[in-house]
Structure 1
Amino acid sequence: MDDQNKNLILATALSFLVILIWFVVFPPPEPTPAPEVTTGELTAPGDGLATAPTTAEAPAGSTLQVETRQETLAEAPRVEIDTPRLTGSISLLGGRIDDLSLKDYRETIDPQSPIVTLLSPVGTDSAYYALYGWAPGAGLTLDDVPGANTRWTLENGQTLGLDAPIVLAWTNDKGMTFRRTIGIDANFMFTVTQSVQNGSDMTASLAPYGVLARHGEPQDLRNFFILHEGLVAMADGKLTETDYSDMRDFAVDSREGARAEVTQVAENGWIGFTDHFWMTTLIPEPGSPFKSVAKYDEARDIYQAEAVLPTQTVAAGQSTTVTTMLFAGAKEWETLREYERSGIQNFVDSIDWGWFFFLTKPIFWLLHNIHALIGNMGWSIIGLTLIIKAILFPLAYKSYVSMAKMKELQPQMEALKEKAGDDRQKLQQGMMELYKKEKVNPAAGCLPILLQIPIFFSLYKVIFVTIELRHAPWFGPFQDLSAPDPTSIINLFGLLPNAAPEPGSLMATIFIGILPLLLGISMWVQQKLNPAPTDPTQQMIFAWMPWVFMFMLGSFASGLVVYWIANNTITFTQQYIIMRSQGYKPDVFGNIRSGFSRKAKTEKK
Structure 2
Amino acid sequence: MDDQNKNLILATALSFLVILVWFILFPPPPPQDQAIDQAEVAEGVLPPTAPTGQATAPGLTAPEQSRAAAIAAAPRVSIDSPRLTGSLSLTGGRIDDLLLDDYRETVEPDSENVTLLSPAGSPNAYYALHGWVGGGGLPAEQVPGPNTPWQLESGETLTPGNPVTLVWENGAGLVFRKTIAVDDNYLFTITQSVENATEAAVRLAPYGIIAREGEPSDLMNFFILHEGVIQSSDGTLNEVGYDDVRDFEFAANEAAATERTDVAGNGWIGFTDHYWMTTLIPQSGQSFTAVAKHNPTSDIFQTDIRLPTVEVAPGTTGESTTYFFAGAKEYRAIADYEETLGINQFVDAIDWGWFYFLTKPIFQALHWFNVLIGNMGIAIIGLTLVIKALLLPLAYKSYVSMSKMKQLQPEMEKIKERAGDDRMKLQQEMMALYKKEKVNPASGCLPILLQIPIFFSLYKVIFVTIELRHAPFFGWIRDLSAPDPSSVLNLFGLLPWGTPGPESFFAIFSIGVLPILMGITMWMQQKLNPAPTDKTQAMVFAWMPWIFMFMLGTFASGLVLYWTANNIITFVQQYLIMRSQGVKPDVFGNILGGLKRAKSKAK
TM-score, with structure 1 as normaliser:
0.91
Show the 5 A alignment for 1:104-143.
104-143=102-141
| Residues 18 and 414 (structure 1), Cα distance of their counterparts in 2 relative to 1, 3 Å cut | farther
The superposition leaves residues 450-503 of structure 1 with CA deviations (integer Å, 9 ceiling, x where unpaired) of 111111111111111111111111111111111110111345325679765423
Q: Residue 504 of structure 1 contacts residue 555 of structure 1 at CA under 8 Å; is this kept in 2?
A: no
| Residues 21 and 537 (structure 1), Cα distance of their counterparts in 2 relative to 1, 3 Å cut | farther
Aligned to 2:45: 39
Aligned to 2:567: 568
Aligned to 1:286: 284
Aligned to 1:383: 382
Unaligned runs of 5+ in 2: 592-603
The superposition leaves residues 176-196 of structure 1 with CA deviations (integer Å, 9 ceiling, x where unpaired) of 111100000011100000111
Aligned to 1:596: none
Aligned length: 584
Counterpart of 2:439 in 1: which secondary structure? coil
Aligned to 1:522: 521
The superposition leaves residues 34-68 of structure 1 with CA deviations (integer Å, 9 ceiling, x where unpaired) of 9943322211122xxxxx136444437x22x3x11
CA distance in 2, matches of 1:351, 1:469: 13
CA distance in 2, matches of 1:236, 1:115: 36
Aligned to 1:392: 391
Tell me the CA shift for residue 506 of structure 1. Answer: 3.5
CA distance in 2, matches of 1:251, 1:195: 34
Aligned to 1:156: 154
The AA in structure 1 aligned to 2:541 is: F
Q: Residue 530 of structure 1 contacts residue 590 of structure 1 at CA under 8 Å; is this kept in 2?
A: no
Higher alpha-carbon deviation: 340-349 or 273-282: 340-349
The AA in structure 1 aligned to 2:190 is: V
CA distance in 1, matches of 2:395, 2:487: 35
Q: Residue 272 of structure 1 contacts residue 282 of structure 1 at CA under 8 Å; is this kept in 2?
A: yes
The AA in structure 2 aligned to 1:367 is: L
CA distance in 1, matches of 2:574, 2:28: 36
The superposition leaves residues 200-242 of structure 1 with CA deviations (integer Å, 9 ceiling, x where unpaired) of 2332222111011111000001111111111111111211111
1:246 is the counterpart of 2:244: yes
CA distance in 2, matches of 1:389, 1:6: 19
CA distance in 1, matches of 2:542, 2:470: 35
1:338 counterpart (323, 336, 339): 336
Higher alpha-carbon deviation: 540-549 or 152-161: 540-549
Aligned to 2:502: 503
Counterpart of 1:39 in 2: which secondary structure? coil
Tell me the CA shift for residue 351 of structure 1. Answer: 0.8
Higher alpha-carbon deviation: 142-151 or 489-498: 489-498
Tell me the CA shift for residue 427 of structure 1. Answer: 3.2
Tell me the CA shift for residue 251 of structure 1. Answer: 1.9
CA distance in 1, matches of 2:25, 2:97: 36
Tell me the CA shift for residue 505 of structure 1. Answer: 2.8
Q: Residue 41 of structure 1 contacts residue 58 of structure 1 at CA under 8 Å; is this kept in 2?
A: no
The superposition leaves residues 244-271 of structure 1 with CA deviations (integer Å, 9 ceiling, x where unpaired) of 1111121223354421221111111111
Higher alpha-carbon deviation: 565-574 or 375-384: 375-384
1:213 counterpart (211, 229, 248): 211
The AA in structure 2 aligned to 1:59 is: L
CA distance in 2, matches of 1:356, 1:24: 18
Q: Residue 40 of structure 1 contacts residue 58 of structure 1 at CA under 8 Å; is this kept in 2?
A: no
| Residues 590 and 20 (structure 1), Cα distance of their counterparts in 2 relative to 1, 3 Å cut | farther
Q: Residue 44 of structure 2 contacts residue 122 of structure 2 at CA under 8 Å; is this kept in 1?
A: no
CA distance in 2, matches of 1:572, 1:251: 58
Tell me the CA shift for residue 591 of structure 1. Answer: 6.1
| Residues 211 and 424 (structure 1), Cα distance of their counterparts in 2 relative to 1, 3 Å cut | farther
Tell me the CA shift for residue 504 of structure 1. Answer: 4.5
Counterpart of 2:166 in 1: which secondary structure? strand
Counterpart of 1:239 in 2: which secondary structure? strand
1:227 is the counterpart of 2:256: no
Tell me the CA shift for residue 123 of structure 1. Answer: 0.9
Q: Residue 269 of structure 2 contacts residue 279 of structure 2 at CA under 8 Å; is this kept in 1?
A: yes
Aligned to 1:185: 183
Counterpart of 2:361 in 1: which secondary structure? helix
Aligned to 2:461: 462
Aligned to 1:273: 271
Tell me the CA shift for residue 417 of structure 1. Answer: 4.5
Q: Residue 489 of structure 1 contacts residue 512 of structure 1 at CA under 8 Å; is this kept in 2?
A: yes
Tell me the CA shift for residue 99 of structure 1. Answer: 0.3
Counterpart of 2:569 in 1: which secondary structure? helix
CA distance in 2, matches of 1:206, 1:445: 69
The AA in structure 2 aligned to 1:100 is: L
CA distance in 1, matches of 2:21, 2:347: 29
CA distance in 2, matches of 1:194, 1:362: 40
Aligned to 2:14: 12
Query: For the aligned residues, what is the CA RMSD?
Result: 2.4
Percent of residue pairs bearing the same amino acid type: 61
Aligned to 2:597: none
CA distance in 2, matches of 1:537, 1:169: 80
| Residues 422 and 264 (structure 1), Cα distance of their counterparts in 2 relative to 1, 3 Å cut | farther
TM-score, with structure 2 as normaliser:
0.92
The superposition leaves residues 9-29 of structure 1 with CA deviations (integer Å, 9 ceiling, x where unpaired) of 155223223234316768469
CA distance in 2, matches of 1:570, 1:548: 21
